């Protein structure tokens, strides 16, 4: 699996239409610079791999809105989390301009732009 970085972005769920913070895990920087760093829209991703710079990138995220939550008492504390088997993933598109995270769009929002050229991140 290796180390990855994350983009934290407010993304609308296509099912619930709720907007929540979600994490997009990325490996877009040169491998020696990956260090589990978190980025927000507007941040610059230093040492980005040229393949992912100045383009749209199709990625995905685990939706915090429609993924069913499991609630448990652990050590007297109530916690809520999404089990791996319950994760619901949605595609999204990230625009990188000169190493900067310019925007994150849902699949629906991206399709309205009519853009056909993008990089698919697996």
Residue ranges of domains in the chain: 5-116
Percentages (nearest 5) of helix, strand, coil residues in the chain? 10, 50, 40
**Per-residue pLDDT at 35:** 78
Condensed to tens digits (0 to 9), the pLDDT of residues 42-100 reads 999 999 999 999 999 999 999 999 999 999 998 889 999 999 999 999 999 999 999 99
Q: Average the pLDDT over 95-110 and give the result.
A: 97
Q: How confident is the model at residue 9 (pLDDT cuts 50, 70, 90)?
A: very high
Q: Using an 8 Å Cβ cutoff, are 11 and 40 in contact?
A: no
């Amino acid at each position: 699996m290796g180390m990855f970085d994350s983009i934290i972005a407010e993304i609308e769920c296509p099912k619930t239409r709720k907007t929540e913070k979600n994490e997009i895990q990325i490996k877009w920087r040169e491998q020696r610079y990956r260090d589990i760093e978190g980025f927000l829209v507007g941040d610059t991703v230093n040492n980005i791999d040229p393949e992912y710079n100045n383009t749209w990138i199709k990625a995905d995220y685990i939706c915090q809105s429609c993924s069913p939550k499991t609630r448990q008492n652990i050590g007297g504390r109530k916690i809520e989390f999404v089990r791996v088997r319950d994760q619901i993933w949605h595609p999204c598109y990230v625009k990188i301009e000169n190493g900067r995270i310019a925007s994150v769009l849902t699949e629906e929002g991206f399709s309205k732009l009519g853009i056909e050229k993008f990089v698919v991140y697996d």
